[in-house]
Amino acid sequence: MARRYFGTDGVRGRVGTHPMTAAFALRLAGAAARVLSPSGGRVLVGKDTRLSGYMFESALEAGFVAAGVDVLLAGPLPTPGIAYLVQRLECDFGAVISASHNLFDDNGIKFFDRSGAKLADELEEAIESHLDEPALTLESGALGRATRVDSERTLYQSFCASTMPTGTTLAGMKLVIDCANGATYKVAPRVLSDLGAEIVPIGCSPNGRNINDGCGSTNPGLLKLTVSGVRADAGLALDGDGDRVVMVDHLGRSLDGDQLLYVLARARLATGDLKGPVVGTVMTNLGLEVALAELGVPFLRAAVGDRNVLQLLRTHGGSLGGEASGHLLCLDKTTTGDGLIVALQVLSVMKATGKTLAELAAGMQKFPQLIINVQVARRFDAAADKTVVAAIAKVEQELGKRGRVVLRASGTEPVIRVMVEGEDAQAVGRHAATLAEAVRAAAMAA
């Protein structure tokens, strides 16, 4: 069945607009309880720092309790922290209230199963099948209970620290940490500080409205200035729910997820700990593929989305993968994307090698890449249009093996994304403009 509400990362939208309303969250909780814990059990609920989180937390709590499920309320905690604590606290499932890297007027709800993994499509479809039913309310003796477990975040902090190689500390390192005024604002600075780093915190003063606002992994400008200004060894910027990270070297230059993957893959290769292929997506910079090939490391591309990366890693026995956005997977350390744990792995490489982040990333040269979003009146398969196919073939012939073309329809808006990569920035721009015009003309004729 086609899913009406669940997208690539749970249910998400503008607060106050269906489905992101308190009434819908109440029904969603009942539907999830029916599917994920039909005989009671317990659920762990966490959130980021959005003002609307209070509303959705209360609605989910009411829906779960009414369905006979005990609720553990963790308060503000990173999404990967909930994934970990679901297992540690032996819950039947977990729920996270967050819209990740979006601004505060959006919010979302996503679920984890008892193993801390995102739900399979079939489970999300089963939950949706119950959404049209009346809200479930059991008789008084069968209702669930709600308990605050805010202090359990220390378990997650200890887990993050434990992913560092035995005996490794961050003593002697000066780090700038940008928590995007989001869910990591308590745990991330404490983990880094407990490991011995001198930290300079920014984006750690949430007020309910400033999450991801001019800060965090999507806006690392302030981080770059601060790292240079205080002469830090490195900086790290997380997003609002803590599953993404970008880093900044001591020169104030940002490193995206592709570059961090290179650093980790090369380090694991050197120690014999690299398992299987590295997995990126169709949008991963060609520079990563070329750099890994020079090291003899196999590289595979999945469709966009961490779910697809995870599936390909599992299929081929890999442990490292992710996207340029900084949503990376280190499956030898944890089950889901965790920005703080990824940053700790990179920092441990710096400590082990004595090299700067700039030196570690120098072996990968990013290829110039340009993405043009072509607005279309309605969805159509641009890659099946004869004129577009001919234009792509011509560009690919000119680029040769040192360039790529990707056409991808947006999953959330009427847009065709035209991406061109190559060694020459001017040629990339020219080719991208040509293909965008071909797609625009085909769309008008369709």
Determine the longest span between alpha carbons in the chain, in angstroms.
Answer: 72
Please count the helices (runs of H) and the strands (runs of E) in the chain: 14, 18
Catalytic residue (one of 100, 217, 254, 325)? 100
Complete DSSP assignment for 375-427:
E-SS---GGG-HHHHHHHHHHHHHHGGG-EEEEEE-SSSSEEEEEEE-S-HHH
Q: Which residues contact 408 (CB under 8 A, 6 or more apart)?
A: 282, 283, 304, 416, 417, 419
Rounded CA gap, 393 and 297, in Å? 29
CB 337 within 8 A of CB 261: no
DSSP designation for 220: T
DSSP state of 134: P
Q: Distance between CA atoms of 99 and 121, rounded to whole angstroms?
A: 19
Burial bucket for residue 205 (CB in 10 Å: 0-12, 13-18, 19+): exposed
In a 10 Å sphere around its CB, with 0-12 CB exposed, 13-18 middle and 19+ buried, how is residue 23 labelled? exposed
Specify whether 100 is catalytic: yes
Rounded to whole angstroms, the Cα distance separating 223 from 248 reads 7
Q: Which two tokens stand for residue 21?
A: 């309303």
Closest CA to 75 of 229, 184, 227, 235: 184
Q: How far apart are CA 10 and CA 96, in angstroms?
A: 9
- Residue 361 burial (10 A CB sphere; 0-12, 13-18, 19+): buried
Q: For the packed helices 339-353 and 187-194, what is the interaxial angle rounded to 10 degrees? A: 20
Neighbours of 303 (CB within 10 A): 13
DSSP for 150-199? GGGHHHHHHHHHHTSPTT---TT-EEEEE-TTSTTTTHHHHHHHHTT-EE
Alpha carbons 86 and 71: distance in angstroms, whole number: 12
Residues with catalytic roles: 100
